[in-house]
Amino acid sequence: MIAKIQGLLEEVEKLQAATKEEAEALRIKYLGKKGIVNDLMADFRNVPAEMKKEVGMKLNELKNKAQEKINALKDAADAKDNVADDIDLTRTPYPIALGTRHPITIVKNEIVDIFSRLSFTLAEGPEIEDDWHVYSSMNFADDHPARDMQDTFFVEAHPDIVLRSHTSSVQARVMERQQPPIRVICPGRVYRNEAISARAHCFFHQVEGLYVDRNVSFTDLKQVLLLFAQEMFGKETKIRLRPSYFPFTEPSAEMDISCDICGGKGCSFCKHTGWVEILGCGMVDPAVLDANGIDSKVYTGYAFGMGIERITNLKYKVKDLRMFSENDTRFLEEFKSAN
């Protein structure tokens, strides 16, 4: 019997198990109620008295060795399973560089933050719009050039459905469902049928603002725009308003800021004028208020709109508009510090 136990000791030392299930099968085989060690214990009563001490010690050694070996096999199988669980098989085999916020998003958030502090609330609307909200509600005549195919993207087979060419459509949607006071800022992407170049693109981003209430004046508009310019470009920034024309405002104006490169002295960036145009604005035309269900005899308002790419160019001196949409991570890396 001692020879048999010795053979089993050698056998136990060589046991292997790749999984927890295999290790459990070995435990049952050697240490279970009907296992090899229990069978030997049952035969122990047939061992001669003079050999019981030696055989008993060997049996205990076999039992302990088997228990230690099987426990070790179970621990190894557990560790292997845990490693497998930690592996993400969907990951690419190379490190992925962390991205950064897009400069258009950085500037848009900054613009929205400035006007939010002036109690403007955020308003958004669909990019695929109907003619009423984009043009008719904004006092565009039926023969206005902006309606021409060269400026507007029309949805095929639906001549009254367009890709919005400005975010004024959001203002229209706000006015038709809400009575004054109204104070909203409307950021979003817009589309125009233009050739793509360093200075133009078929899509870009705008932020428009609208304030309608009793006794709103042009002075209110000027003060808000001055505060915005100084918050965005610095406290020393000056503004000037030049008469202009927009179908939805009367009177209308273009706003320039003093060039922050030359300090208003004149350089190539501002074409030696000392001024750079950044937005259009004006008092909301009474016809627009009436068309959107607001009594123009009781309420007045102002509106303004700017291209986010334009503001981004002024802040970061990006010379080519196409860089904003080419997904070049080297370009985006330059704006990490602005996040």
Q: Who contacts 283 (Cβ-Cβ below 8 Å, separation ≥6)?
A: 216, 218, 221, 249, 250, 251, 300, 301, 302, 303
Question: Which amino acid makes up residue 240?
Answer: R
Which of 289, 288, 269, 286 minimizes the C-alpha distance to 277? 269
Q: Residue range 291-319: average pLDDT?
A: 92
pLDDT of 339: 58
| Predicted local distance difference test score (pLDDT) of residue 283 | 97
What's this model's pTM, rounded to 2 decimal places?
Answer: 0.68
- Residue holding tokens 């001669």? 48
HEC string for 122-161? ECCCCCEEEHHHHCHHHCCCCCCHHHCCCCCCEECCEEEE
Tens of pLDDT, residues 86-142: 667 777 777 767 778 889 999 999 999 999 999 999 999 999 999 999 999 999 988
pLDDT by residue (tens digit) across 203-239? Answer: 899 999 999 999 999 999 999 999 999 999 999 899 9
Whether the pLDDT of residue 274 is over 80: the answer is: yes
Which has the higher per-residue pLDDT, 151 or 242? 242
List the domain boundaries for the chain: 2-86, 103-338
- Is residue 302 within 8 Å of 285, Cβ to Cβ? no
Q: Are 155 and 128 in contact (CB under 8 A)?
A: yes
Q: Is residue 70's pLDDT more than 80?
A: yes
Residue type at position 259: C
Q: How far apart are the first and last CA of the chain?
A: 79
Which CATH architecture best describes the domain 103-338? 2-Layer Sandwich (3.30)
**Residues 21-63 pLDDT 10s:** 888 888 888 788 888 877 777 777 777 878 878 877 877 887 8
Mean pLDDT computed over every residue of the chain: 86
Split at pLDDT 50, 70, 90, the class of 84 is: low
Distance CA 274, CA 268 (A): 9
